[in-house]
């Protein structure tokens, strides 16, 4: 199960809310994958990936503006990580989704959840403790 946990809170309300939304989107993807009654998951998966990509771009813009407003010194390297994530999501091979949606969705979800978890607990925590 993919859920927001209090340990992810950075103490910056707007950013915490957006991080929680990323978890909510990932949770919906997980729900689609686990839905045994849905025959063709392709359209649902495509819609969730598009939403995730668009929301990540929106969130990263907000986070980057915040980092600049506080003069975060490692802003550029942090931005590179954001750009890499967006590129990875954008590079999703939708033919693989159609061939085996459950397996591909699981692989992508593993990447997304691991990235979000490590990024928030590791990299994002740095700009609120400096």
* pTM score: 0.87
Structure-token match 């392709």, residue found: 42
- pLDDT at position 130 is 65
Phi, psi angle pair for 41, to nearest 5°: -90, -5
CA distance 116 to 23: 8
The residues, ordered by sequence, that sit 6+ positions from 87 with a Cβ below 8 Å of its Cβ are none
For the chain, domain boundaries: 93-130
**Residue 57, Cβ neighbours under 10 Å: how many?**
16
The Cα 130–Cα 128 span in angstroms is 6
58-116 pLDDT, tens digit per residue, is 999 999 999 999 999 999 999 999 999 988 888 877 777 667 767 777 787 788 888 88
């Amino acid at each position: 199960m993919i859920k927001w946990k209090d340990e992810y809170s950075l103490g910056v309300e707007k950013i915490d809310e957006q991080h929680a939304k990323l978890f909510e989107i990932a949770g919906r993807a997980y729900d689609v994958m686990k839905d045994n009654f849905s025959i063709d998951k392709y359209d649902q998966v495509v819609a969730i990936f598009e939403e995730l990509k668009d929301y990540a771009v929106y969130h990263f813009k907000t986070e980057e503006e915040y980092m600049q407003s506080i003069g975060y010194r490692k802003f550029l390297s942090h931005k590179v990580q954001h750009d890499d994530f967006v590129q990875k999501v954008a590079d999703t091979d939708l033919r693989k989704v159609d061939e085996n949606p459950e397996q591909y969705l699981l692989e992508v979800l593993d990447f997304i959840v691991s990235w979000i978890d490590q990024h928030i607990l590791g990299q994002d925590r740095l700009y609120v403790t400096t």
